[in-house]
Structure 1
Amino acid sequence: MSDPFIRHIQLLGFEKRFLPSQHYVYMFLVKWQDLTEKLVYRKYTEIHEFHKALKEMFPIESGQIEKEHRTIPHLPAPKWFDGLRSTENRQITLADYCASLLSLPSKISRCPHVINFFKVRSDDVNPASNKNGRKPETFLLKTESTKQANVSDITGPIILQSYRVIADYEKNTKSELGVTAGDVVDVVEKNENGWWFCQLKNKRGWVPAAYLEPLDSPDESEEQDPDYAGEKHIITKDYSSTLDDELNVKEGETVDVIHKLLDGWWVVRKGSITGYLPAMYLKKSGEASPADENQIKTKALPPRRSTISNARSMHQQSRKQITQDTYRRNSKKYLKERQSKTESMITAITIDEDKEMESPCKAQPAIPPRPSKEVILDRCTEHTKSKIRTMN
């Protein structure tokens, strides 16, 4: 078995905690060589101590021998007192530091010092609980590239959204979280592929979004309205339908996404046919493939909401889900309207072209008759008339 190493480190944001006293910890999602994903929390002082030890282990790469040989990235020292603003401002630097660290040669990026620092600790899984019941405040960093991000991209304080579990779910991998109907979880990250990263007391892991619903209102209010014009997407992997309302597609085909649903199964149109497809098999047309294409090979498809049995939903009556017949009828209606508009435009263009062909003949001005010699002489000045008389 190969030695463990880290594929990717993503900074999710930071938490403001209140036990044993007020302090801040950064949240990192660490992806390992076996594609498992772990959430770890580290103080900035811990990160800087790790950085100092790394420089001592590699004096040449840290520039201690010759400054021009330095490859280990810089990391500013912690301030005497870290407040909310300094913790926010440091996120971009810290995210860039992690990216630069993993791009170093394997003797550094895969050394035991790096591996052990980002391994899951007991306090990552079982953080100290506040007896007063005060939850940590979570500040999430937007998912745009950190190179283009700035401090204004950082959200304000966010108390994680709480969701109720509507049916029992038994985890299938170590990275997932098993839940029971009636449990209330806090959602850390919502992925469009239908898997959400959740926290239940001291446990964390991925849960299918179809098993979750908001506490106060139907979750359809979070979904975008259907767009029957469609957004071009490309199929990244073959898919054979298992239910009647799903589509069969081949890798490389282009479809129109007309409704992005929270459970990770999107309604798409292929030609004039509509049906459901897993979002993780789609990429937006014109965009590069995701950095981790192995995700669709290793992560199971999330279950569709309609396939969950014994769902104890509190919002079944108030939900206004769109039926498949409605999707198909509205999609056909849109296609007919678009075809009618296209035909109208073609007719209008043809008429305009015909008018342009006819217009030169109709608009051609008549050539005026040449005036007589007497008229010309009558309109000339006396100076011109005297010259004409002289020439004659």
Structure 2
Amino acid sequence: MSDPFIRHIQLLGFEKRFFPSQHYVYMFLVKWHDLTEKLVYRKYTEIHEFHKALKEMFPIESGQIDQEHRTIPNLPAPKWFDGLRSTENRQVTLADYFSSLLNLPSKISRCPHVLNFFKVRPDDINPTTNKNGRKPETFLLKADSTKQGNVSDITGPIILQSYRVVADYHKNSKSELEVKADEVVDVVEKTENGWWFCQLKNKRGWVPAAYLEPLDSPDESEEQDPDYDGETYVTTKSYSGTMEDELTVKEGETVEVIHKLLDGWWVVRKGNITGYLPAIYLQKSGEAPPTNENQTKSKGLPPRRSTISNAQSMHKQSRKQISQETYRRNSKKYLKARQSITETLTTISIAEEKEIESDSKAQPAIPPRPSKELILDRCSEHTKNRIRTLN
């Protein structure tokens, strides 16, 4: 069996913690030789102490004998007081530091000192929390921020929402996270396609939103009401419905989305028919395709909420669910009303066009020719004499 080593270290961001006093810790996702990924938290003071010890272990590579031979990267000393701004500004430096460190010869990059520093500790799995329940504030670093050196792309503060798992979920790919019923996860990112990126202790991965419920109350506010007016979308892939209430579509068809559900299965209207379609195969009309398409495809279709037969909620009030028949009935009402309005407008438009056309073609009426007697009765004596002369 080969010796362990670290393949990659990714800086995810940092947390602002409040126990035992206010301080900041950096979040690192460490990818090991066996492709396992572990989440660890380290203070900057710890990182700098690690750096100092590394320099002592390798005096030549640290430039202590000859500065020209230095290969170990520099790392600034910590300040007397670390505030939010200084913690943000160090992220690019740290990302570059550990990237350079792993590119050094294996006697440095794979030495026990480096490996031990990034091994998971008990407080990485169960960090000490404040007794009053105040959660850490999480500041995430965008994926391309370290490459561009732009710390203005840092998001935050973010209070990660906690959700409870309603049933066991067994992952189908490496990017997913396996969870069990009643476990509590922190949601890092929510996507409309039904996959949420979650954190469970020192593990991270994608979990179907259908398997999660909020701790406080049923998550009614997050799921919008149906909009029977509909938004125009285009299908990016063919799909054959496997259940009675699902639609079958071809790639490139135009449909109307009338209800966006959190589990990633949207209610869609195709002509006069309504049914469910996976949001992962829908793209808003006129918009460019998403840049993370390959990552989305690797997760596959999320399971529908209605298919989880053994789901157990902790809330007395369950999430509001609308039947497919209600969707169809309300959609037909809307289409009928829209058709009536369209026909009325069309009738008015046609009538107006005919009226304009008739006005443009109308000619002055030709008066009837008067009789001889009427002319003699109304004309002057001069005209009467002319007529008598002609006769």
Range of TM-score over shorter length: 0.5 to 0.7
Counterparts of 2:103 and 2:219, CA distance in 1: 45
3-state SS, counterpart of residue 122 of structure 1: coil
Provide the residue aligned with 1:354 in structure 2: 354
- Residue 226 in 1 paired to residue 201 in 2? no
Separation of aligned partners in 2, 1:249 and 1:16: 48
Separation of aligned partners in 2, 1:358 and 1:38: 81
Structure 1 counterpart of 2:214: 214
Distance 1:144 1:339 in 2: 48
For the residues of structure 2 that align with 1:245 and 1:174, how far apart are their CA atoms?
Answer: 31
Q: Deviations over 1:216-262 (max 9, x none)?
A: 22123211111112222222222221111111122222221111111
**1:1-392 pair list within 5 angstroms:** 14-18=14-18, 22-25=22-25, 80=79, 81-87=81-87, 90=89, 94=92, 122=120, 126-127=124-125, 129-130=127-128, 132-133=130-131, 136-140=135-139, 154-156=155-157, 158-315=158-315, 317-359=317-359
SS where residue 267 of structure 2 aligns?
strand
Conserved? CA contact 1:160–1:188, under 8 Å: yes
SS of the residue corresponding to residue 314 of structure 1 reads coil
Structure 1 residue matching 2:346: 3-state secondary structure: helix
Tell me, in whole angstroms, the C-alpha distance in 2 between the residues paired with 1:339 and 1:94: 58
For 2:198 and 2:269, how far apart are their aligned partners in 1?
A: 32
Distance in 1, matches of 2:144 and 2:359, equals 57
Alpha carbons 2:165, 2:213 under 8 Å: kept: yes
Identity of aligned residues (%): 62
Once the two structures are TM-superposed, the CA of residue 180 in structure 1 deviates from its matched residue by 2.3
Structure 2: stretches of 5+ with no match in the other structure: 1-5, 56-60, 62-74, 365-391
Conserved 8 A contact 1:177-1:205: yes
Report the number of matched residues: 324
The answer to which of 238-247 and 13-22 deviates more is: 13-22
Q: Distance in 1 between matches of 2:178 and 2:280?
A: 22
Partners of 2:239 and 2:339 in 1: CA distance: 30
SS at match of 2:221: helix
C-alpha spacing 1:226/1:28, structure 2 compared with 1 (3 Å):
farther
**What amino acid does structure 2 have at the position aligned with 1:356?**
I
How far has the Cα of 1:138 moved from its partner? 2.5
* Cα distance in 2 between the residues matched to 1:238 and 1:38: 37
Q: Which moved more, 1:293-302 or 1:351-360?
A: 351-360
* 8 Å Cα contact 2:37-2:203 kept in structure 1: no
Question: Residue type of the partner of 1:228?
Answer: Y
C-alpha RMSD over aligned residues: 4.8
Deviation of 1:16 after TM superposition, in Å, equals 0.8
The residue number in structure 1 matching 2:369 is none
C-alpha distance in structure 2 between counterparts of 1:31 and 1:328, whole Å: 49
**Contact 2:125-2:201 within 8 A present in 1 as well:** no
The separation in 1 between residues aligned to 2:238 and 2:315, in whole angstroms, is 35
Q: Which letter does structure 2 place at the counterpart of 1:301?
A: L
| Mapped partners of 1:271, 1:30: distance in 2 | 50
SS at match of 1:240: coil
Structure 1 position 291, deviation (Å): 1.7
Tell me how far apart the structure 1 counterparts of residues 129 and 315 of structure 2 sit (CA, whole Å).
33
Q: Where in structure 1 are there 5+ consecutive unaligned residues?
A: 58-75, 102-106, 365-392
TM-score (normalizing by structure 2): 0.64
Q: Classify the secondary structure of the residue corresponding to 1:222.
A: coil
Q: In the alignment, is the contact (CA less than 8 A) between 2:38 and 2:203 conserved in 1?
A: no
Deviation readout 1:35-78 (Å, 9 max, x if unpaired): 9988676767869x99xx9xxx9xxxxxxxxxxxxxxxxxx978
> Could you tell me how far apart the structure 1 residues matched to 2:22 and 2:354 are?
78
The answer to whether the 8 A contact 1:163-1:187 is kept is: yes
1:205, distance to aligned residue in structure 2 (A): 2.6
1 CA distance for matches of 2:215 and 2:27?
A: 25
Q: Contact 1:233–1:255 at 8 Å: present in 2 too? A: yes
Q: Distance in 2 between matches of 1:343 and 1:31?
A: 63
The residue matched to 1:219 in structure 2 has which SS? coil
CA distance in 2, matches of 1:237, 1:30: 35
2:187 and 2:300 map into 1 onto residues whose CA distance is: 20
**CA shift at 1:25, angstroms?**
4.0
Quickly say closer, same or farther: Cα 1:258–1:111, change in 2 above 3 A: farther
Aligned residue identity for 2:137: T
Paired residue type of 1:222: E
Counterpart residue identity of residue 186, structure 2 = D
Change (3 A) 1:270 1:342: same
> Are the structure 2 counterparts of residues 20 and 216 from structure 1 closer, same or farther at C-alpha, using a change threshold of 3 Å?
closer
Q: 1:311 to 1:151 in 2, by over 3 A?
A: same
Return 311-320 or 299-308, whichever deviates more: 311-320
